[in-house]
Amino acid sequence: MERLSAVVLYPFAKGNLVETGIQYSDLHTTTTDDYEVVETVKIDVPMPASHSQEPIVEVEFGLTCSIQSSAGAESVLFKWQASEDVAFTSPVDLNTEIIYAADASALKEYTVSGRFEVEADFNEVPFWLRLVIKSGGAGGETAKGKTKNSSYVRVIYSDE
């Protein structure tokens, strides 16, 4: 019988403690029309000395961000990605692109959650997670985004 271990991590939006207990990463404002990274974190779990890497059996996510546009008529697009490579040469989209439709000028929270089925480019630890955002249109409008400290990752991996 396969031995499994699990760990739950809260890797995003670390910094000075706040009175409300709700921490966010720094607000990232885009400077291009392409996807830009808001925050990247490394996910690692304790491994037995006999293993160099552990195969992931299952990963559960609860990822929260706040996003907005610089203009009331502009939309913002975002998605969460994972990679076993810190350079994200083959990123795995954890969710389909989400659009905060026009009139995105106020910060709005979004949470994506669920269990993600592992695949070829995402089945071992360590791995990296990131939030990417972009403006819904070209022409000088910007997207803004930040991650929230309540975001979590639960990794179940094989000990054998």
No. of helices (H) and no. of strands (E), the chain? 0, 12
3-state DSSP call for residue 66? Answer: strand
Residue pLDDT tens, the chain, 160 long: 677 888 999 999 988 888 988 999 999 999 988 999 999 999 988 766 655 566 788 999 999 999 998 877 788 999 999 999 999 999 999 999 999 887 777 899 999 999 998 888 788 888 999 999 999 876 778 899 999 999 999 998 877 6
Closest CA to 126 of 9, 2, 12, 4: 9
d(C-alpha 5, C-alpha 28), whole Å: 35
Which range marks the domain in which residue 77 is found?
4-16+23-158
pTM, to two decimals: 0.90
Number of folded domains that form the chain: 1
Residue burial 69-102, b: 16+ Cβ < 10 Å; e: rest: bbbeebbbbbbbbbbbeeebeebbebbeeeebee
Q: What is the CATH number of the domain that holds 9?
A: 2.60.120
pLDDT of residue 69: 87
